[in-house]
Amino acid sequence: MKILIVDDEEKIRNVIKEYCLVENFEVEEKEDGKSALEALEKEKFDILVLDIMMPKMDGFALLENIPKEKRIPTIILSARGDEYDKLQGFELGIDDYITKPFSPKELIARIKALSKRTNHQDIYKLNTLEIDFLQHTLKIDNKLINLTPKEFEILSYLIENKNIAVSREQLLSKLWGYSYFGDDRTIDTHIKMLRNNLGKYRNHIITVRSIGYKFIENEEE
């Protein structure tokens, strides 16, 4: 997997690069949006890790200027944690948003999750639970479980990001859209219904206090 890191802080780039190399990822670094755009036009990358505040061309301007056929899965890594910035990022097609200061290990986990999400297998199995992403079906003990479309989307998203805390804001923006004017209780209500439908697997969706939810494969975690 080839990662393009775009950040004007050399120390940040070096830290990310070090952790990526441990995972045997190929890495290329750029310090501004303009040089990153040139690299994207010439080379093929799998994931873009992008800062917002940079000289010459900021992160948002870069996203707006990337040709449609050159767009790749993107994680924004920024000191700007305002809701407006996050929503603008998701509106421009990013997949994840991490606020600085950040945990390099968490970033690597999110890169792996994003890679799996964009190249995921058609079927996920956990003991007697089986979810078919193409058919949009869930089976438990070989019995078909009826989920609403939104419940299926939430479960799929949590599984694709398994073992990573997903915020309510992230679920709202990714699954409901940026123009949705509901609140966090919408997510909580759907999670409650989803847990009821999961039966003996309900405890695999855990609540992460002050953040949101996480799907775990081991209930003892």
Q: Specify the CATH number for the domain of residue 75.
A: 3.40.50.2300
Q: Are residues 86 and 162 in the same domain?
A: no
Instruction: Please check whether residue 221 lies inside any domain of the structure.
Output: no
**Does some domain include residue 220?**
no
Here the tokens at position 157 are 């998203």
What pLDDT digit, counting tens, does each position of 102-145 carry? 999 999 998 988 887 776 667 889 999 999 987 889 999 999 99
| Same domain membership, residue 127 and residue 107 | no
Are 93 and 145 found together in one domain? no
Q: Are 79 and 156 members of one domain?
A: no
> Which pLDDT belongs to residue 215?
96
Q: What is the model's pLDDT at position 122?
A: 79
pLDDT tens string 16-61: 999 999 999 999 999 999 999 999 999 999 999 999 999 889 999 9
Burial class (CB in 10 A: 0-12, 13-18, 19+), 175: middle
Q: Global pTM?
A: 0.61
Q: Which residue has the tokens 């996920």?
A: 124
Q: What is the CATH number of the domain that holds 203?
A: 1.10.10.10
Measured distance CA(48)–CA(26) in Å, rounded: 12
Distance, in Å, from the CA atom of 220 to the CA atom of 204, rounded to the nearest integer, reads: 9
C-alpha distances in Å from residue 81, one per residue of 13, 58, 94: 19, 16, 15
Domains of the chain: total: 2
